[in-house]
Amino acid sequence: MIKKIFSFILIFILTSGISVSIACTNLIVTRGASSDKSVMITYAADSHTRYGAIAFYPATDHKTGDLCEVFHYENGKLLGTIPEVSHTYSVIQFMNEHQVAIGETTWGGLDSLSSQPGAILDYGSLMRIGLQRSKTAREMIQVMTELVAQYGYASGGESFSVSDANEAWIMEIIGKGKYEKGAVWVARQIPDGYVSGHANQARITTFPFQKTNNWNDPKQTVFHSPDVISFAKKHGFYKGTDESFSFSDVYNPLSFGGARFCDARVWSFFRKINKEIRESQDYTNYAMGKFSKDARFADQRTNPNGFVSNRLPLWVKPDSPVTLQQVMAGMRDHYEDTPLDMRNDPGAGPFQSPYRWRPMEFVVDSTMYLCERAIATQQTGYSFVAQSRNWLPAPIGGIFWFGVDDTDGCVYAPVYCGIQRVPESFALGNGSMISWSETSAFWTFNQVNNWTYSRYNLIHPEIEGYQAQIENQYANEVKIIDQQAAELYRQNPASATDFLTSYSVYTGNKLAADWKTFYQYLFMKYMDGNMKVTEGRKLLDNGNGKNVPRRPLHPGYGKEWEKIMIQGTGDRLKVPKAN
């Protein structure tokens, strides 16, 4: 019986498109769609083994013959070496000194293309090296794709968000497997005034085929490998017309899991900012894994290949300009107030938790069931909102708003892209997933979040309030820091860099220290199932001056859960009435 159930689970995973690799979420906001005319992309690095820290690569001059070692982003294995360029730019995790930023989500794609013998560049190394060699998003795409063509691609299918201070792009790529070196790929510029996103499902469908990639033409909004269609036809992955070719449907065929566990996260953000998505039952059905395959798509294009016709558009126009705070809130989403809301079914427990522990699928009486996969999730290592602003000098204009652990319980701290060192509390090497550090922001935020999971509807409102207080403080501080840094930059760019470094380092380290104190407060207040009396974030004594607390409250489980508790217990828990 156990073997039968295991086989059923394996078949379900293979046929539903559920990714067993890292699962992440990216949101993309163009200048014309943002309230302050900045470009924003987000990234949640979701993995049960991913540690939240910031890697820093300083700008460096290289000699002829210098080599760049390529280490696998996930497992640390040395994949090989490639020649260095004469100068590399400084990089703060996934944003460089020129305000170029990148995020990714993994979708895997066709099994026959998942492994490429002899390939050197995996997706994470490609991101880092691309940032070290690029001044614009377009240049980033060019560098990445040329590197892959030369040295091979050592990962499965990926979607990338690539941005600078003026433009935002989505790029999707998959290796050529054992057939050829390199990869097939498509990159599309998100039209100004629009918002996009991706979450472990390829999103680019049809696209205008280009005769050549003219990287210097600002009017060219689509780039792709010249064989993106012919490669698929040559190896039997596609048999239709070039005009109806869909990158996503061919290289990452849509499945129930691709919609319900992946694209539904994009739908949840889109519906917050776009009325059409919010009110459309077709798109709601799609997010729930219910597909239509009509003869025409929503934009009236014909559908000769019988692809899913009610899938989400690649980008949407927001009802009103999107703020930085809305983007951060989007990263904290659990499908609240949608048909996928997790707070009110029995899995939420008595404290309305929007979290479900893994595995995501389980079998009851030979039937497979699922747990929802929201944007905010417990296994996030780190996340960021990369904000690029073209009205400021590049080292000042780029802010890498960085948070560790679950996005719902993180605080996004401002880290300017031009700084020369990172806060110790966020530094790579300060702790790991298997080594504790008292000064690590990652472990401090994990303590708070895991304590919150124990009684979510009681403790989380306190997290949310303090989170908003600090992030609003940062937003006000940044306005002042911007002005002071811009004035310094006019006089001496190095002084501005020192100033921004000092601010970013101080802010990050202070946040970790303040959050540790916050954890101590929360633990004392909510220990043993009680709730001590507080004023602000101060525990009150009983008035006798002896550090004895006031009599605590006993919130209990709530009336609805008490009804669930007695189901099936008969008279065992019933208290007899007094005679």
Distance CA 462, CA 465 (A): 5
Distance CA 481, CA 475 (A): 10
Distance CA 547, CA 395 (A): 50
CA 335, distance to chain mean position in Å, is 15
Q: Render pLDDT for 106-115 as a digit per residue (tens, 0 to 9).
A: 999 999 999 9
What is the pTM assigned to this prediction? 0.94
pLDDT value, residue 21: 43
What are the extents of the domains in the chain? 2-370, 392-529
Distance CA 25, CA 28 (A): 10
Q: Which residue, among 74, 143, 150, has the nearest Cα to 106 in the 3D structure?
A: 74
C-beta separation of 105 from 28 below 8 A:
no
- Of 73-77, 141-145, 227-231, 320-324, the poorest mean pLDDT is in 73-77
Neighbour-count burial for 76-103, b at 16+ CB within 10 Å, e otherwise: eeebbebebbeebbbbbbbbbbbbbbbb
Q: Render pLDDT for 521-545 as a digit per residue (tens, 0 to 9).
A: 999 999 999 999 999 999 999 999 9
Please list, in sequence order, all residues whose beta carbon lies within 8 angstroms of the beta carbon of residue 16, skipping any fewer than 6 positions away: 255, 256, 257, 258
Q: Which residue, among 455, 447, 452, 574, has the nearest Cα to 517 in the 3D structure?
A: 447
Element housing 222 (H / E) = strand 222-224
Cα torsion for 236, 241, 242, 243, to the nearest 10°? Answer: -150
C-beta separation of 113 from 176 below 8 A:
yes
Q: Render pLDDT for 492-517 as a digit per residue (tens, 0 to 9).
A: 999 999 999 999 999 999 999 999 99
Token pair 């007695």 is at which residue?
Answer: 566
Averaged pLDDT, 557-570: 93
The string of DSSP codes covering 290-304 is -----SB-TTS-B-T
